[in-house]
Amino acid sequence: MTSTSVYLDNAASTPLDPAVLEAMLPWFIDCPANPSGRHEAGQAAGIAIEQAREQVSTMLGCQADTVTFTASATESCNLAIKGLLRPRLRRGERVHIVSSAIEHLAVLDPLRRLEREGAEVDLAPPTPGGWIDPSEVERRLQDDTAMVSIMWVNNELGTINDIAAIGEMCRDRGILFFCDGSQAAGKLPIDLDSLPIDAFCVCAHKMNGPKGTAALVVQGRAAGRPLEPLIEGGGQEQGLRSGTLDVPGLVGFGAAAHRVSECLGDDLPRIMQLRDTLQAGIVAAHPLAVANGDPSRRVPHILNMTIPTAGPEPLMEQIQGVTCSGGAACPSAKGEPSHVLAAIGLRSEAAATTARLSLGRTTTADDILAAIAAFKRVGH
């Protein structure tokens, strides 16, 4: 990224908050101990880990002992899905899973793996507005449905699913409900103690924390089920996730969670105003531009727009001076088209002229004005 480029790819990753960096720095050099060590330095590192766990659980509104630290939301999704369902497959039980066609690949790929191992997966389609109608989930439920996995906020469209309704539906039927909350943390208030969610994942780098730190919350009915670990070897995290804990990263995770609790009330209205200004500016420059995703069900941080242009190149090749993406970062890294845009009915030609512009805590009014100026130059 050049020094003059406006950063509007916060849905992929956010800049590290300076307060988070400050909290992390001593643990890189001054306090290098392994938190599993029984000496004084190791105990100090262990205390710092538990403080971070408390900070994360406070942000999420859950009990600290339900939080298991992992290295990524992808790992957390894999641990929840494979860890909770493989024991049933190994016992020879029939396992049926309901999810959606617009989940992140961190959910869809583990589901495909379990399909190859004998599970049956049923994907609910989204509405044209890019959210999952709870009735589409309900009509797919079977007597042997073991899990429903629906994300809270879609990472490409910013659309919000009614997870409370879906969770209640699952609870009434004794079905485990896993929710990918990667894009919800830092964008919505969260109170897991009051929600019928059995497993929930979150990561730090989507909310101005460090990359490489994440968590899986296991509560409700999932807390009493066998959870098969993906990684074994040291017994850390109550045997659910072995490996030396990243003390600086987890301290940063905790500090980022604390900052969310401090800043969310101010962030939301400010970012919504910036998002609306950006959308209006793009439409003024490109009257045929269309925002994807139901506007009444979107977080303010993500603006997904199809912008027909006169140029022959894909839209992303025409945008100069704005760092953004055509969709989720993971499929983009593979050069694959967006399965989310395809699921809401966008043809490949429209997907090629679609950009995801995602704002965050560090986005300023000047950034938005510069981005609008850049889009005025596109296709002309």
Q: Which two tokens stand for residue 282?
A: 């793009």
**Residue 369 is assigned to a structural domain of this protein:** yes
Q: DSSP secondary structure string, 170-221?
A: HHHHT-EEEEE-TTTBTTB---GGGS--SEEEEEGGGTTS-TT-EEEEE-GG
Amino acid present at 106: A
Q: Are residues 251 and 271 in the same domain?
A: no
Q: Are residues 279 and 207 in the same domain?
A: no
Using the predicted structure, report yes or no on whether residue 331 has a pLDDT greater than 90. no
The predicted structure's pLDDT at residue 239? 87
pLDDT tens digits, 128-152? 999 999 999 999 999 999 999 999 9
Rg of the chain, C-alpha, whole Å: 21
* Matching residue, tokens 């805590």: 361
- Work out the pLDDT band at 79, boundaries 50, 70, 90: very high
* CATH at 167: 3.40.640.10
User: Would you say 249 and 212 are in contact if contact means Cβ atoms under 8 Å apart?
Assistant: yes
Q: Are residues 89 and 189 in the same domain?
A: yes
CA distance 250 to 56: 10
Active site residue 330: yes
Q: Are residues 132 and 217 in the same domain?
A: yes
**Residue 325 is assigned to a structural domain of this protein:** yes
Write the CB contacts of 64 (distance below 8 Å, at least 6 apart in sequence). 50, 53, 54, 57
Q: Are residues 240 and 271 in the same domain?
A: no
Number of domains in the chain: 2
Q: In whole numbers, what is the pLDDT of the chain averaged over residues?
A: 94
Q: Which helix (H) or strand (E) holds 18?
A: helix 18-24
CA distance 187 to 268: 7
* Average pLDDT score over residue span 317-333: 76
Percent of the chain with pLDDT over 70: 96
CA distance 118 to 121: 10
- Work out the pLDDT band at 316, boundaries 50, 70, 90: confident
State which of 258, 292, 319 marks the end of a domain: 258
> Which residue among 170, 201, 324, 330 is the active-site one?
330
**Residue 339 is assigned to a structural domain of this protein:** yes
CA distance 364 to 371: 11
* Residue 280: exposure state from Cβ atoms within 10 A (0-12, 13-18, ≥19): exposed
Q: Are residues 167 and 24 in the same domain?
A: yes
User: Would you say 315 and 367 are in contact if contact means Cβ atoms under 8 Å apart?
Assistant: no
pLDDT tens digits, 287-301? 999 999 999 999 999
The predicted structure's pLDDT at residue 2? 47
* Domain of 366, in residue numbers: 6-15+265-377
Q: 8-22, 27-41, 271-285, 315-329: lowest mean pLDDT where?
A: 315-329
Using the predicted structure, report yes or no on whether residue 322 has a pLDDT greater than 80. yes
Using the predicted structure, report yes or no on whether residue 329 has a pLDDT greater than 80. no
* CATH at 290: 3.90.1150.10
The predicted structure's pLDDT at residue 348? 87
* Matching residue, tokens 């300076």: 18
Pairing of strands 302-306, 354-358: antiparallel
Using the predicted structure, report yes or no on whether residue 330 has a pLDDT greater than 60. no
Using the predicted structure, report yes or no on whether residue 16 has a pLDDT greater than 80. yes
**Residue 1 is assigned to a structural domain of this protein:** no
Rounded to the nearest 10 degrees, the angle between the axes of helix 247-285 and helix 365-377 is: 50
**Residue 226 is assigned to a structural domain of this protein:** yes
Percent of the chain with pLDDT over 90: 87
Q: Which two tokens stand for residue 345?
A: 């009915």
**Residue 231 is assigned to a structural domain of this protein:** yes
**Nearest CA-CA partner of 283 in 261, 305, 254:** 305
State which of 223, 258, 293 marks the end of a domain: 258
Using the predicted structure, report yes or no on whether residue 4 has a pLDDT greater than 80. no
Q: Which two tokens stand for residue 358?
A: 């995602």
- The 3-class secondary structure across 75-96, one letter per residue, is HHHHHHHHHHHHHHHHCCCCCE
* Average pLDDT score over residue span 193-206: 98
Degrees, nearest 5: CA angle 147-148-151? 135
State which of 238, 258, 278 marks the end of a domain: 258
The predicted structure's pLDDT at residue 311? 66
